[in-house]
Structure 1
């Protein structure tokens, strides 16, 4: 077997635990007092001050080989190459000085043609277990001679020095990604999502050049072999809606769309579990209550009994488990060409319909918009009013290339493969957040199933006036006032005013990408009535 630190630049280490199994990693984590077990045997890890991604502390190294192709700005902040070398030396020196290190050799990409080999080096057993759950685990024979394409050097307890390392002034956290050296160095944050999303960023960098669209979406496949994609930002329901007992799960978050079909980047799921309902989401609930799962910032009582309603540590509580913990999964993590594409939004303004059918031009527009709305309780500092969030391609923080690259690829793939696109609102109905109620998951599931089995396409559609969306006039089992959001509001004037407000926010956001889209997409853009 290849030396566990080969290619990492770490020249000294006391003890290296390479490719331990889940049981061994849990044992190590408990011995090292890294966390505790739930009553059901899941490992509970706490991440301290960082309970989400440190967006402002993520940097991409400015290197001659790649600089011209990177979408520089707030998403991809430049890190001076010389400063990065100082940072790398610091991280390597720190890791080399530790009494124990944990490494995991893993794959990203279920399709062997497009997968990459990843080596994680970390100071904590539970972070190694997170990565083992999250990525694809090679067979034992494949570990012999394993040579990584990309390496993650993970030093969560190490504080970076901004003046020397090139990070954000005043911050001791730094995530530095070098595409030329194929190294990601992470310091100053224990939030495990940084490991996952750094590799997603790498896949977003590599795959477009190979003719594959990388996507921030979940995917599943029906009994007839029909593949469906679910785009959406955090909290919109990607994981929940794709984990459907009637359809086989391909994956819950990251996929590629090639000329052959869809493939998962990962071998696990990373579900948000705040207020998780056993009745509404039994698959995720069951996976979160068993040995081998990693629970992040989840509250439990002294007996280890979980309180999934408790958001005192963060609303961003998470459960990370191997995909096989879901009973109905697609073998091999691959599916055929998509027949349906679903774009999810949690509209806290309560004015978007629960489902609408999009034209190809509208699909491109909503993909580039990437809309959802945040509400008080989901992030610190939010007031009572919903806040619109627009994230290009439903994943702007992970796009090293310009969104235009991914947008054009999606438009070409939809045209080539003839996929039908749907916009689904999992947010509010009958009023905005604070007045209305959350969309019934039973209604959402029923509408989605009708869309995916083809029956919804057969009903009569009408166009609502504010967003130009085609909505079904009647669907069996769904109240008529649910289908048309204006009908669900008691105060129609308030609905009109709120809808106009959201139209204005869409208009303003469109200005950021209007120059990068075709004339038919411009014509499909949401705009206020003249």
Structure 2
């Protein structure tokens, strides 16, 4: 079933405008301004990040027994969705609208033709830079299979439309339509398409992944899973390897492919020394969200996060000098799970058995830091299933089973890398230096980490390397970096207990993967 969204409007429909044309329209409409580097900077108003409590999936017959309903995948009736759709059609009647036709998915065998309709010119610039832009020939035969309509100025009435607020992100799989209103945060469009692919691909036996990916000169592919702030984009942007993509990929029988045609990087405290590729990629046509600029010089002040820690930069992947275009490559041999442990107890790198890999994939652990979210005043353990819980419409067991099959089939090695704290928790220890993390990741990628022995630490059962070139040996076992061994033991066991408590929600894991569930239980960290 193809998307069949008919838009009858008395306003202007601007189709497939070029980058400069969109910048000019956005400036004329006072949607933002251009920085000294040529990037377009916009503010996103009250919402400087996603609004998960305002996201819904329509309760249509074909999806009812497949969707993992709950707090992440909230139900919306077809009646309420239809009311919002009619409201959107009326709202657009006298508006100038901007339309992008393109693709999600670099692999022509699996890509999804999409259409995105925007109220804001800068939003249309954003999707033009983030998704895959068609050639003139591809555009002629383009037929969207999914449509996104993003109208920041349109607000819902919770009493009438069944929403939780005036903001809504509503996904209908039968109508093949996403409606977004009441938020100016552009990332909602990107993540909505990711949610669509997370539903469709597993039904075809393919694995969608919230990860970055790169490839070495020998064709060796690596995946980097991790939640926001763990270093996924930074570590995959390696000058010695080619970038496939920085955020979302699919893994099929043919190999790995990028869902996107661009990158959406966090840029709080961005510097040319630590992230040279991202720094250089922010130029003409890039989109900056909520970045403070110097009014006198027009230069970006990435160190100023007074508005939000979630400042963002969107740019086409071609802006990365060694990017793989199109973003298609072979099967990964190395998989890295990234976490930023603010408690300072997880090792900076550890080799995982398949069972441990499945456990940590389902756990998806990292830490929230004070100030990053409203109400967070101290470091908190947070778990996001498969490192992408907000975007998983299906049950977690579906994705876990697919990953386990791929690890077995392609004999991939899996490592857990902690980019968080060492020597103690936040306020006592220090953040793991990026140079040391890069050295450990490099050793995993080139295989030299396997030349040394591994020692199993007792609390989490993780296998820590005895030596990594360029890394002090005491750093490799976290207990050796703490001045107080008893304090380390207490903190480590407290985190292990949090892992165990979180994993209780998988007690009724799908019986069809009982063997995986047994392996996960065997890999469960010890806890007192």
TM-score bracket for this pair, using the shorter chain length: over 0.9
Give the equivalent residue in structure 2 for 1:233.
227
Separation (CA, whole Å) in 2 of partners of 1:222 and 1:377: 37
| Selected match of 1:391 from 379, 384, 393 | 384
Cα deviation, residue 7, structure 1? 3.7
Give the equivalent residue in structure 2 for 1:475.
468
Query: SS of the residue aligned with 2:415?
Result: strand
Query: TM-score scaled by structure 2?
Result: 0.97
| Selected match of 1:453 from 446, 468, 485 | 446
| Selected match of 1:350 from 344, 369, 373 | 344
Pair 1:526-2:525 in alignment = yes
Matches within 5 A, 1:156-305: 156-168=152-164, 171-288=165-282, 290-302=283-295, 303-305=297-299
Pair 1:495-2:488 in alignment = yes
Cα deviation, residue 12, structure 1? 1.6
Query: SS of the residue aligned with 1:515?
Result: coil
Cα deviation, residue 276, structure 1? 1.1
Give the equivalent residue in structure 2 for 1:141.
137
Write the deviation string for residues 488-517 of structure 1: whole angstroms up to 9, x where unpaired: 111222111110110110010111113324
Separation (CA, whole Å) in 2 of partners of 1:8 and 1:368: 37
Separation (CA, whole Å) in 1 of partners of 2:199 and 2:519: 28
Pair 1:485-2:478 in alignment = yes
Separation (CA, whole Å) in 1 of partners of 2:427 and 2:56: 37
Cα deviation, residue 341, structure 1? 0.5
Cα deviation, residue 9, structure 1? 2.7
Separation (CA, whole Å) in 2 of partners of 1:485 and 1:92: 57
Q: Which runs of 4+ in 1 moved over 4 A?
A: none
Q: How many residues align?
A: 519
Matches within 5 A, 1:46-195: 46-98=43-95, 100-168=96-164, 171-195=165-189
Separation (CA, whole Å) in 2 of partners of 1:244 and 1:410: 25
Structure 1 residues 520-529 or 346-355, which shifts more? 520-529
Query: Structure 1: 5+ residue runs without aligned partners?
Result: 1-5
1:9–1:92 Cα contact (<8 Å) kept: no
Query: SS of the residue aligned with 1:314?
Result: coil
Cα deviation, residue 481, structure 1? 1.7
Cα deviation, residue 8, structure 1? 2.6
Separation (CA, whole Å) in 2 of partners of 1:242 and 1:502: 27
Separation (CA, whole Å) in 2 of partners of 1:344 and 1:130: 27
Cα deviation, residue 406, structure 1? 0.2
Give the equivalent residue in structure 2 for 1:311.
305
Pair 1:367-2:361 in alignment = yes
| Selected match of 1:42 from 14, 19, 39 | 39
1:299–1:307 Cα contact (<8 Å) kept: yes
1:13–1:101 Cα contact (<8 Å) kept: no
2:235–2:438 Cα contact (<8 Å) kept: yes
Give the equivalent residue in structure 1 for 2:435.
442
Give the equivalent residue in structure 2 for 1:340.
334
Give the equivalent residue in structure 2 for 1:405.
398
Give the equivalent residue in structure 2 for 1:3.
none
Query: SS of the residue aligned with 1:263?
Result: strand
Structure 1 residues 10-19 or 245-254, which shifts more? 10-19
Separation (CA, whole Å) in 1 of partners of 2:231 and 2:373: 17
Cα deviation, residue 520, structure 1? 2.0
Cα deviation, residue 434, structure 1? 1.2
1:177–1:184 Cα contact (<8 Å) kept: yes
2:449–2:467 Cα contact (<8 Å) kept: no
Write the deviation string for residues 449-490 of structure 1: whole angstroms up to 9, x where unpaired: 110001111211001111100001122211112111111111
Query: SS of the residue aligned with 2:508?
Result: helix
Cα deviation, residue 325, structure 1? 0.5
Query: SS of the residue aligned with 1:201?
Result: helix
Query: TM-score scaled by structure 1?
Result: 0.97
Structure 1 residues 420-429 or 11-20, which shifts more? 11-20
Separation (CA, whole Å) in 2 of partners of 1:476 and 1:392: 33
Query: SS of the residue aligned with 1:67?
Result: coil
Separation (CA, whole Å) in 2 of partners of 1:159 and 1:524: 47
Separation (CA, whole Å) in 2 of partners of 1:93 and 1:232: 41
Separation (CA, whole Å) in 2 of partners of 1:72 and 1:467: 31
Structure 1 residues 316-325 or 301-310, which shifts more? 301-310
Give the equivalent residue in structure 1 for 2:420.
427
Write the deviation string for residues 192-212 of structure 1: whole angstroms up to 9, x where unpaired: 000000000000010011111
Query: SS of the residue aligned with 1:107?
Result: strand
1:514–1:522 Cα contact (<8 Å) kept: no
1:462–1:471 Cα contact (<8 Å) kept: yes
2:333–2:411 Cα contact (<8 Å) kept: yes
Query: SS of the residue aligned with 1:512?
Result: helix
CA-based RMSD of the aligned residues comes to 1.0
Separation (CA, whole Å) in 1 of partners of 2:92 and 2:423: 54
1:371–1:391 Cα contact (<8 Å) kept: yes
Separation (CA, whole Å) in 2 of partners of 1:337 and 1:450: 19
Query: Structure 2: 5+ residue runs without aligned partners?
Result: 510-515
Cα deviation, residue 343, structure 1? 0.3
Pair 1:12-2:6 in alignment = no
